[in-house]
């Protein structure tokens, strides 16, 4: 296994086969992370109840906003570190890596304390009251205890590829996922601890995903990176935050849009609408994770060759990536259409009305899989080129502006179906923006 990893370096020329081998661990890692989130929802829905399942989906966007700071440091930091590695400055790369990890730990503790204190007010502001409010606060506060580890888990999922250890990142994610699944089965299904049990299972799995990599990089290891003494470099930190702001904005925007969807669904349909949307998001996370994992896996390769000044490799990577994403998009669309019924029954088969609603939601949403992969990769591609402005603009338009416009306007024109159509509509506009920037910036980056 070690020998296999050593055969693929960021400096290599990547055929489609080699590209898939290098990115496959990152893809599986992201998919597995999504799967154990899906399992969490399955146990809550089937063993705790519909009210608890609704509460988890209602408050989860808030928790994701607090945790996704790690994704900003992971993507923005990974691009800067890989570019520094491409220039041959390994000492500086390790100092950049270490500085980000230390800052993430401190920031995670600060956000956890802040979140625990303000969570009831936030849930009330979003429209929760009564049992829904109580469940949101109960679940959210348990999850927030592990927020520092959650931040690190997101960050290391990106940085393992930069360290040329994508398989090790996969193993850590599998360990975290199995922890969550086993504890869900024990605490929720066997011991009937309900919502607190599901929250505890998730929090403990996040500790596995965040702490194990911390131990690995703190000790002598076989990767290109390890934790060393590092001082605060505001110039590097500024570059990381600016460059990773697109991924941070994307995650925050998706969470904010999810809150808006929940608000609209409560208004138009009621709690059944929130539950149906929750099922959709669980399944969507798995499909989108393929694109996100591929983007995470290819980003350090793009950054390395940009830093090394090899535009032919950039051109080759872009062309091959478009081919891979096109094939995956078509396969996901077909799978979503075929599996809509079985997946809906898995979660809400106990409620006939909710089952019909969820199947209809899948029919509309599946069209977004034909488009979203290109937009996700386009934003990641510019992050890897250390152009945080364009990457942030693509993410902002895709995950916030276009979706907000669509979810507010289309229901007025098309009724309830307008809520579900708004996502593919927003992805269509985003694809146009992505193509525009890829074409207009071709001469600047020579890809």
Arithmetic mean of pLDDT over the chain: 87
User: Do residues 282 and 347 make contact, with C-beta atoms less than 8 angstroms apart?
Assistant: yes
- Separation CA 343–CA 349 (nearest Å): 9
Q: What is the pLDDT of residues 253-263, one digit of tens each?
A: 777 777 777 77
The mean pLDDT value for 279-286 works out to 76
Q: How far apart are CA 430 and CA 221, in angstroms?
A: 41
pLDDT at 117 over 90: yes
| Mean pLDDT of the 146-163 span | 93
In this predicted structure, the answer to whether residue 39 has a pLDDT above a threshold of 80 is no
- Between the two ends of the chain, the Cα-to-Cα distance in Å is 33
Instruction: Give the up-direction half-sphere exposure of residue 219: CA atoms within 13 A in the CB hemisphere.
Output: 7
pLDDT at 142: 96
Does residue 67 contact residue 288 with C-beta atoms inside 8 Å? no
Q: Each residue of 362-419: pLDDT tens digit?
A: 888 889 999 999 999 999 999 889 888 898 889 888 888 898 898 889 988 888 888 8
Which range, of 142-151, 184-193, 331-340, averages the lowest pLDDT? 331-340
Top pLDDT among 56 and 104 is at 104
Lowest mean pLDDT among 21-35, 79-93, 104-118, 161-175: 21-35
The first and second tokens of residue 395, run together, are 């993410």
Query: Across residues 169-173, what is the average pLDDT?
Result: 90
Q: What is the pTM of this model?
A: 0.73
| pLDDT confidence of residue 10 | 82
State pLDDT tens for residues 379-389: 999 988 988 88
Confidence check: pLDDT of 156 > 70: yes
Chain-centre distance of CA 102, in angstroms?
22
Say yes or no to pLDDT of 345 above 90: no
Q: Write the CB contacts of 244 (distance below 8 Å, at least 6 apart in sequence).
A: 71, 72, 73, 74, 75, 76, 77, 79, 383, 388
User: 229-267: buried (b, 16+ CB within 10 Å) or exposed (e) per residue?
Assistant: ebeeeeebbebbbbbbbbbbbbbbbbbbbbbbbbebbbe
Helix axes 372-384, 311-348, angle to 10 degrees: 140
pLDDT at residue 175 tops 80: yes
Give helix 69-86 / helix 271-308 axis angle, nearest 10°. Answer: 10
Percent of the chain exceeding pLDDT 90 equals: 43
Which pLDDT belongs to residue 184? 92
Domain holding 244, by residue range, is 2-445
pLDDT at 351: 66
Q: What's the whole-number mean pLDDT along residues 25-31?
A: 87
pLDDT digits (tens, 9 = 90+) for 313-343: 999 999 999 999 999 999 999 988 887 778 7
Number of domains in the chain: 1
- The pLDDT assigned to 286 comes to 81
Using DSSP, state whether 223 is helix, strand or coil.
coil
Which residues are CB-contacts of 443 (< 8 A; sequence separation ≥ 6)? none
pLDDT at position 4: 39
Q: Could you give the count of Cα atoms lying within 13 Å of 135 in the half-sphere of its Cβ? A: 23
Q: Which tokens hold the place of 399?
A: 């995950």
CB contact at 8 A, 64 and 247: no
Mean pLDDT of 229-251: 84
Q: Is the pLDDT of residue 1 over 50?
A: no
Q: For the chain, what percent of residues have pLDDT higher than 70?
A: 95
Residue-wise pLDDT for 203-226, tens only, equals 999 999 999 999 999 999 888 899
């Amino acid at each position: 296994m070690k020998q296999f990893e050593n055969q693929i370096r960021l400096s290599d020329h990547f055929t489609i086969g080699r590209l898939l081998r290098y990115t496959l661990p990152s893809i599986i890692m992201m998919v597995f992370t999504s799967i154990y989130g899906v399992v969490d929802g399955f146990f809550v829905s089937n063993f705790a109840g519909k009210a608890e399942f609704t509460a988890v989906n209602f408050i989860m966007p808030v928790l994701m906003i607090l945790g996704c700071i790690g994704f900003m440091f992971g993507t923005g930091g990974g691009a800067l570190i890989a570019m520094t590695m491409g220039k041959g400055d390994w000492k500086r790369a390790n100092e950049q890596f270490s500085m980000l990890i230390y800052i993430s730990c401190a920031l995670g503790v600060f956000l956890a304390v802040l979140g625990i204190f303000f969570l009831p007010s936030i849930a009330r502001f979003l429209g929760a009251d009564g049992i829904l409010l109580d469940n949101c606060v109960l679940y959210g506060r348990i999850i927030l205890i592990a927020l520092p580890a959650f931040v690190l888990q997101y960050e290391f999922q990106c940085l393992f590829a930069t360290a040329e250890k994508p398989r090790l990142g996969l193993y850590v994610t599998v360990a975290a996922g199995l922890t969550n699944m086993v504890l869900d089965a024990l605490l929720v299904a066997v011991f009937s601890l309900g919502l607190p049990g599901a929250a505890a299972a998730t929090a403990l799995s996040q500790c596995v995903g965040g702490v194990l990599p911390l131990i690995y990089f703190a000790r002598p290891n076989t990767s290109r990176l390890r934790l060393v003494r590092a001082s605060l470099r505001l110039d590097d930190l500024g570059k990381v935050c600016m460059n990773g702001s697109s991924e941070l904005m994307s995650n925050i925007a998706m969470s904010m849009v999810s809150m808006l969807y929940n608000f609209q669904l409560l208004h138009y349909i009621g709690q059944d609408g929130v539950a149906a949307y929750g099922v959709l998001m669980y399944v969507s996370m798995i499909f989108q994770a393929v694109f996100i994992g591929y983007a995470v896996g290819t980003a350090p390769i793009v950054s390395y060759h940009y830093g090394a000044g090899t535009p032919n490799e950039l051109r080759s990577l872009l062309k091959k990536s478009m081919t891979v994403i096109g094939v995956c998009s078509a396969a996901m669309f077909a799978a979503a259409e075929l599996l809509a019924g079985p997946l809906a029954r898995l979660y809400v088969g106990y409620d006939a009305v909710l089952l019909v609603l969820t199947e209809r939601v899948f029919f509309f949403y599946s069209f977004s899989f034909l488009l979203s992969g290109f937009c996700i990769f386009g934003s990641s591609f510019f992050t890897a080129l250390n152009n945080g402005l364009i990457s942030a603009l693509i993410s902002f338009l895709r995950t916030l502006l276009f979706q907000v416009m669509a979810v507010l306007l289309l229901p007025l024109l098309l009724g309830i179906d307008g809520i579900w159509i708004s996502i593919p509509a927003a992805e269509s506009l985003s694809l146009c923006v992505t193509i525009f920037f890829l074409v207009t910036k071709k001469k600047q980056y020579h890809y």
